[in-house]
Amino acid sequence: MSRLSVNFAGIEFKNPVIPASGTFGYGKEYERFYPLSKLGGISVKGTTEQLRTGNLPPRIAETPSGMLNSVGLQNPGIDHFIAEDLPYLKTKDTVIIANMAGSTAEGYREVAEKLDKTDVDMIEVNISCPNVKAGGAAFGVSCEGAAEITRIVRAATSKPIMIKLSPNVTNIADIAKAVEAEGADAVSLINTLLGMRIDIRTRRPVLHNNMGGLSGPAIFPVAVRMVYQVANAVRIPVCGMGGISTWQDAVEMMMAGASTIQVGAAIFADPYAPVKIAEGMEQYCIDNGINNISEITGTVQPW
């Protein structure tokens, strides 16, 4: 699929389609459906400095045109990932993106330093995590917090870093400019929107954590808008995500300014979604005489 090959933050991807972190695990369960080499890359389950068991159930609930989740970054910890999961992933002929998170600045530094010594291709930094030393507000909801984590991770690794931006902010373009200024090589957006549903029979929230992240087709228009705003505010490349379910969505997201895209909630409904999207994008290029999919990035023509 040479028409789909893209260079993103200095890394060559065979196609721009990446399963989003937290929706694809470490890929093992999906090999029964197709070779992982069909994917442009994999953003693995968010990794923290220590094992996390996650939040109490119920922690996933369907909503109209989407889903809420408050899984709570359940993962086996950075040491287990490096020893057990990464060697397997590196045999799959696709770009491996290590998604990382933390509850303190020190936690981010520790994970980044350990990842720097591995052969992961890129690090995606989830800044939507609560800062336990600052009253629980997420690092990514302020320019200062986002810049701090970017600065710490940048100092801890020479690998390309991609900062995953939260949509739960006043001006996402300002956040993007703040992380660019601190050395981010790319940004990915959007993370989930904070949402809540209530069971009217029990009068309890449908999630044990009361609130959770909303994903799926319902948030796609918000994601397109934010990708467009960020792509026009920074010089570094953008990875677009948020409700992408079809190849048409992926093309639209790239026209808004994304150079690569991530597919998340759609995988729960159809595990073949990433492959179908890549195949659809290939055919779109053929039908429209496009030599390389990167030609459409940022080509939207505002009124």
Tokens 């995988």 identify what position?
267
d(CA 109, CA 149): 8
The active-site residue, picked from 129, 143, 239, 285, is: 129
SS3 of 133, please?
coil
239 annotated active-site: no
d(CA 78, CA 161): 17
Contact 57, 38 (CB under 8 A): no
Q: To 5 degrees, how large is the angle CA 181–CA 292–CA 269?
A: 80
Contact 167, 191 (CB under 8 A): yes
10 Å CB burial of residue 74 (0-12, 13-18, 19+) is: middle
Of the candidates 105, 169, 180, which has an alpha carbon nearest to the alpha carbon of residue 142? 169
Residues sharing a CB contact under 8 Å with residue 31, sequence separation 6 or more, in sequence order: none
Q: To 5 degrees, how large is the angle CA 141–CA 143–CA 144?
A: 105
d(CA 104, CA 242): 26
Active site residues per annotation: 129
